């Protein structure tokens, strides 16, 4: 395993906590809203990637393996990589429960231990926003993929920018919080272009923060409010996270 770039960064320290790993699925995907978010995300991923039968796929920042297992259930040959052995323990347990042959291994997204273009697809979900150097991580996704990369991120134009600002204030006063990145759409496009990829599909999920939807706890409120906001054009401008599918052109 390549040594992490900065072991003190929260993306390594928090996710290395066994208790955090055990509770991760429930805190992120539990309840009616968590289930709705995951099912909506899974629908987009499968729609974007199409037929996965026999495809070799690398899931970077796989965490507890939920997306990796969904891909494997559709016939992909999946390798899941994460810097946290504790998260991977949960992923391996899920794979055993489902009887799926997914290869999970420790590794760092900043320096993936695979040759150039060694997978058909490279996928990364809810990870770039948390890495110390997201530019480098996105470049690594492109490097190891022969055909497609799929990833998501909160854009600068979303309400995530406000949330990040508030979290940085909390961190200044000693709170232990995840002060993640919001990414520039232009920067993302530039990195893809520099690595020989072009964007072919884009999807934006919510206008309102997911945290607000979880606080309200009503799938009906989530579906109705987001449908109205999309109808008046706000989703196209402020929607987050943005999911990107890019294909190799050179």
C-alpha distances in Å from residue 126, one per residue of 9, 28, 231: 16, 11, 26
What's CA 238's distance to the chain center, in Å?
18
**CB of 195 within 8 A of CB of 139?**
yes
Structural domain contains residue 25: yes
Domain of 132, in residue numbers: 10-248
| pLDDT of the chain, 250 residues: tens digit per residue | 344 556 678 778 888 888 887 788 777 777 899 889 888 888 999 999 999 999 999 999 999 999 999 999 999 999 999 999 999 999 999 999 999 999 999 999 999 999 999 999 999 999 999 999 999 999 999 999 999 999 999 999 999 998 888 888 888 888 877 788 899 999 999 999 999 999 999 999 999 998 899 999 999 999 999 999 999 999 999 999 999 999 999 9
Structural domain contains residue 128: yes
Burial of 133 (0-12, 13-18, 19+ CB in 10 A): middle
Structural domain contains residue 41: yes
Structural domain contains residue 207: yes
Structural domain contains residue 133: yes
Output phi, psi for 195, to 5 deg. -100, 15
The number of folded domains in the chain is: 1
Tokens of 14: 């928090």
The label of the residue with tokens 């509770």 reads 23
Tokens of 210: 């997911």
Structural domain contains residue 2: no
- We report the CATH number of the domain holding residue 59 as 3.40.50.150
**CB of 77 within 8 A of CB of 57?**
yes
Structural domain contains residue 90: yes
Structural domain contains residue 1: no
Q: List b or e across 106-127, with b for residues whose CB sees 16 or more CB atoms inside 10 angstroms.
A: ebbbbebebeeeebbbbbbbbb
């Amino acid at each position: 395993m390549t040594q992490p770039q900065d072991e003190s960064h929260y993306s390594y320290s928090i996710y290395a906590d066994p208790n955090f790993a055990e509770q991760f699925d429930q805190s992120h995907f539990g309840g009616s809203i968590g289930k709705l978010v995951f099912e909506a995300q899974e629908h987009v991923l499968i729609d974007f990637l199409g037929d996965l039968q026999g495809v070799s796929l690398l899931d970077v920042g796989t965490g507890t393996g939920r997306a990796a297992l969904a891909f494997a259930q559709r016939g992909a040959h999946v390798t899941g990589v994460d810097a946290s052995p504790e998260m991977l323990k949960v992923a391996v347990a899920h794979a055993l429960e489902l009887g799926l042959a997914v290869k999970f291994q420790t590794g760092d997204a900043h320096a993936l231990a695979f040759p150039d273009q060694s997978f058909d697809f490279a996928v990364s979900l809810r990870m770039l926003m948390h890495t110390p150097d997201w530019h480098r991580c996105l470049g690594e996704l492109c490097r190891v993929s022969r055909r497609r990369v799929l990833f998501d991120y909160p854009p600068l134009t979303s309400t995530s920018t406000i949330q990040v600002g508030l979290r940085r204030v909390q961190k200044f006063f000693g709170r232990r919080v995840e002060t993640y990145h919001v990414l520039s759409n232009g920067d993302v496009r530039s990195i893809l272009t520099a690595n020989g990829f072009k964007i072919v599909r884009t999807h934006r999920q919510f206008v309102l923060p997911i945290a607000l939807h979880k606080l309200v706890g009503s799938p009906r409120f989530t579906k109705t409010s987001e449908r109205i906001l999309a109808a008046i054009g706000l989703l196209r401008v402020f929607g987050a996270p943005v999911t990107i599918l890019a294909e190799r052109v050179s």
